Amino acid sequence: MMGTLDYIWMGVLAVFQGPELFSLFGLPVSATLLMILAGFLVGIAVGATPGLAGPIAMAIALPILISVFGYTPDALLPVMGFLIGVMKGATIGGAVPAILFNTPGTPDAFMTTLDGYPMTKRGKAQKALRVAHFSSASGDTFSDIVLFVCAPFLAIMVEAYLDLPEKTALLILSLSFIAAVIGGSAAKGLISTGLGLLAAYVGTGEDFYPRLSLDSPMLAQGFPITTAVLGVLIIGAVLKELEDLWRTKQARGTIAPHRDTGDQRLHWADIRRLLPVIGRSALIGTCIGALPGIGSTLAATLGYSVGRSHYARTKRPDAPEFGKGAAEGIAATEAANSSVSGANLIPVLSLGIPGNAAAVFLILAAESIGGFNPGPSVFRFTADAVNPELVIAFGLFTAMMIANVLNWTIGGLFMRSMGIMIHIPKHILLPCVLLLTLTAIYVQETRMEVIWFALGFGVLGYLMRVVAISPLPFVIAFILGGKLEETTRQAFAATGSDPWFLINRPVAAAFILLSVLVILYSARKPKAKS
């Protein structure tokens, strides 16, 4: 008779006694363990390098790994262990350039720049990095524990209560919330969101003729996601930083480097103050991660927004404001975006639906190698015979816990050692970042026109920063645009071509009503202040 503990034990053994890579002092060394370590190191390296986010490293590594390990079931855990290592390493590494250079290594680290970089300018870069590491590792651990305990039950509940119309309404609510919250102005947020949706729908769709392509073969293929996201976020930020450097040089004649001053340690008093913020954000990130198709960027935004509203009520008089170097802002963002990674596997394993770009590659690996089909059958506890997919699932849980241990140990050393990067002159670093970003985009797409697209989106991101429009709603709208159209079409068809499917069902109607209220409330705030 097979019980739950038997499956857990078999999953642990599958990781530690899997395919042997070599022997050390007569002891076999598991390939899966080394691949998790290698993936984690690659992840923190690419996460700390603007323009080389985790999904890009996964996209390059996946075909190489499959060609090395083959298409056998034994290849599943080593390959997926590497991808999990990259996912977790890139999440924590993305905070490094966000704090040191005001340039997010990953899109979900954008909110970290708002308080991390002001702390660096005040000479508190090392402390900001310690806050980011502690918050990220705490949120990640919390999320993984929830995944292990609740994955089968949460997946069933989400699928039971959210049908296609409710998922469509939830995506609309997500976009409305982002547009209303980010940037402090609903109008600017809606403009940014509208531009993102417009870019997402160029050349795509199910029509015979490509949409909005102006008869151009280049536009008919649409904009690759890397050109839009990295162009607006990374290249736009680099162009704005170069302009700021030039203006500073013109005004002062020289550019003074940032230097660490004062106490950089993270004391128990700091941890005690940050724990409630981390707890709230970890809970938000875990809930967002458990919902299919939402992703870590929205979790970071929600965590930051909730943290800011609570901080405004409890702030000490001498403490800095949110967005001006508050450690709580870093903690709120990093705990939220890191806690998505564990919960994100709930819809991946149970429903086969990815919550963010990193999860897409886990599904691609499973489909390419074979032997594991994400879906409801994964969590079927068969007592009379072994369910191999459930063993793989518990093997993945074990891999995530190993990556968590690496996160607490190597991740901390890495975050502290990265403080030395602050001494690199920005007029040398920024062109290198620009070159790395364009190289990463070209490696992924290998078409010359994607470079022009990326530069065009970079100019758009620069102009948005000049007129104080946040680029984050643009990025989220671009990522969710395709999903929104697909879900809307499916919901329309599933309801018998009912044009009112968004308001005929109570949960969907509640989401739509909430979307309108969020926009109206946000639009009223400036008038009330004036």
Q: What is the pLDDT of residues 409-438, one digit of tens each?
A: 888 787 667 656 556 677 787 788 788 778
Provide the pLDDT confidence category of residue 295 given band limits of 50, 70 and 90. Answer: low
**406 or 436, greater pLDDT:** 406
User: What was the pLDDT predicted at 528?
Assistant: 43
Mean pLDDT over residues 347-368, rounded?
68
Give the whole-angstrom CA distance, residue 397 versus residue 342.
Answer: 9
Give the whole-angstrom CA distance, residue 530 versus residue 522.
Answer: 14
Alpha carbons within 13 angstroms on the beta-carbon side of residue 131 total 30
Q: Is residue 249 pLDDT above 90, yes or no?
A: no
Q: Percent of the chain beyond pLDDT 70?
A: 83
pLDDT digits (tens, 9 = 90+) for 166-212: 878 878 887 887 787 665 678 888 999 899 999 988 887 666 677 88
Bridge partner list, 29:
22
Mean pLDDT over residues 471-493, rounded?
84
Residue indicated by tokens 């990259």: 86
Give the whole-angstrom CA distance, residue 124 versus residue 249.
Answer: 23
Which stretches of 66-177 are assigned E, i.e. beta strand?
none
Mean pLDDT of the chain: 80
Provide the pLDDT confidence category of residue 456 given band limits of 50, 70 and 90. Answer: very high
Indicate left, alpha or beta for 101 from its phi (over 0: left) and psi (-120 to 50: alpha): alpha
Distance of CA 51 to the CA centre of its chain: 14
Provide the pLDDT confidence category of residue 44 given band limits of 50, 70 and 90. Answer: confident
